[in-house]
Chains A and B, each alone.
Chain A
Amino acid sequence: MAVIAPVIKTPIAKRLLRSRSDRRRAAFDRTMRTVALLAALTCVVPLGAVILFVVINGAPALNLDLLTKAPKALGTGGGAAGAILGSLQMIPLAALMAIPIGIGAAVYVAEFSGTRSARIVRFAADVLVGIPSILVGIFIFTLLVLPFHQFNAFAGSVALAFLMIPVIMRTSEEILRLVPGSLREASLALGIPMWRTVLSVVLRTGLTGILTGVMLAVARAFGETAPLLFTALGSRLVNVGNFSKPMDSLPVFVYTNARAPITALNQQAWGAALLLLLIVLTINVAVRARSFRRNVS
Chain B
Amino acid sequence: MTTVQPPGRSLEGGSGGAADRLFRNGTRVAGGFLVVALIAIGLMLWLSSSQAFGEFGFSFVTGVVWDPVAAIYGALPFVVGTILTSLIAVIIAAPIGLLTAIFLAELAPRRVAVPLTFMIELLAAIPSVVFGLWGVFILGPFLGHTIEAWTVDHFGWIPIFAGPPYGIGLFTAGIILAIMIVPTIVSIAREVISSVPSSQREAMAALGATRWETVTKAVLPFARSGIIGAIILGLGRALGETMAVTMVIGNGQDIPHGLFDQAQTIASKIATSFNEASLGLQTSSLIALGFILLVITIALNVVARLLVWRVAGPPGGS
A288 an interface residue at 8 Å Cβ cutoff?
yes
Chain A 166-180, CB-CB to B under 8 Å as 1, else 0, gives 100100011001111
What residues of chain A lie closer than 8 Å to B182, measured between beta carbons? 43
Closest to B142 in A: A49
In the complex, A128 Cα to B236 Cα: how many Å? 12
Contacts of B41 in A (CB 8 A): 131, 135-136, 139
Check A219 for interface membership: any CB of B closer than 8 A.
yes
Instruction: Give the interface size bracket for B toward A.
Output: 35 or more
- Would you call A1 an interface residue if the criterion is a C-beta within 8 Å of the partner chain's C-beta atoms? no
Residues in A with CB closer than 8 Å to B241 are: 132
A118 to B318, CA, bound (A): 10
Question: Cα distance A136–B37 when bound, in Å?
Answer: 10
Bound Cα distance from A67 to B4, whole angstroms:
51
A-side contacts of B10, CB under 8 Å: 111, 181, 184, 188, 194
Q: A292–B40 Cα gap in the complex (Å)?
A: 39
Instruction: Report if B102 contacts A (CB, 8 A).
Output: yes
Complex interface bits, A252-284 against B, C-beta within 8 A gives 1, otherwise 0: 001100110000001001100100110011001
Contact B290 A135, beta carbon cutoff 8 Å: yes
Contacts of B275 on A, CB cut-off 8 Å?
A: 229-230, 233
Q: How far is the CB of B141 from chain A (nearest CB, A)?
A: 12
Report B36-60 CB contacts with A as 1/0, cut-off 8 Å.
0110110011001000000000000
Residue of B nearest to A165 (CB): B34
A133 touches B242 (CB 8 A): yes
Complex contact B316–A174 (CB within 8 A):
yes
Residues 128-178 of B contacting A (Cβ, < 8 Å): 128-134, 136-139
If A181-B5, A285-B122 touch, whether A33 touches B211 (CB-CB below 8 Å) is yes
- Residue B19 lies at the interface, judged by CB distance under 8 Å to chain A: yes
B179 within 8 A of A: yes
- Pair B302/A127 contact, Cβ less than 8 Å: yes
Which residues of the partner chain B approach A39 to less than 8 Å between Cβ atoms? 95-96, 99-100, 103
The interface centre, meaning the residue of B20, B287, B316 with most chain A CB atoms within 10 A of its CB, is B316
A-chain residues with CB within 8 Å of residue B297 when the two chains form the complex: 130-132
What distance in Å separates the Cβ of A144 from its nearest Cβ neighbour in chain B? 11
A47–B123 CA distance with the chains assembled, in angstroms: 6
Chain B: minimal CB distance from A45 (Å): 9
B30, B130, B242: which contacts A105 (Cβ < 8 A)?
Answer: B30
CB-CB < 8 A to B40: which residues of A? 139
Report B14-39 CB contacts with A as 1/0, cut-off 8 Å: 11110110111011111111110110
CB of B85 closer than 8 Å to a CB of A: no
* A31 to B128 Cα, complex, angstroms: 35
Q: Say whether B116 faces chain A, with CB atoms less than 8 Å apart.
A: yes
B2 within 8 A of A: yes
Whether B213 sits at the interface, judged by CB under 8 Å, is: yes
Complex: A168 Cα to B129 Cα, angstroms? 22
B212 is contacted by which of A32, A130, A188, A255 (Cβ under 8 Å)? A32
**Chain A residues within 8 Å of B294, by CB:** 131-132, 135
Q: Is the CB of A40 within 8 A of B127?
A: no
Question: CB distance A47 to B122 under 8 Å?
Answer: yes
Please indicate the chain A residues that have their CB under 8 angstroms from the CB of B138 in the complex. 49, 53
The interface of chain A, by Cβ under 8 A from chain B, is 25-26, 28-29, 32-33, 35-37, 39-40, 42-44, 46-47, 49-50, 53-54, 57, 100-105, 107-109, 111-115, 117-122, 124-128, 130-136, 138-139, 141-143, 146, 162, 165-166, 169, 173-174, 177-181, 184, 188, 191-198, 219-220, 222-226, 229-230, 233, 251, 254-255, 258-259, 266, 269-270, 273, 276-277, 280-281, 284-285, 288, 292, 295-296
What would 14 more interface pairs be, CB under 8 Å, given A173-B316, A194-B14?
Answer: A49-B139, A54-B134, A105-B27, A113-B4, A134-B242, A134-B290, A136-B41, A138-B274, A169-B34, A193-B20, A223-B125, A226-B243, A266-B137, A281-B125
Can you name 18 A-B pairs with beta carbons within 8 Å?
Answer: A36-B100, A36-B107, A40-B103, A104-B31, A113-B4, A124-B35, A127-B302, A132-B294, A133-B242, A134-B267, A139-B41, A177-B2, A195-B22, A219-B125, A223-B129, A233-B275, A284-B122, A295-B114
Complex A-B, nearest 3 residue pairs according to Cβ-Cβ distance, in ascending order: A223-B127, A193-B16, A132-B240
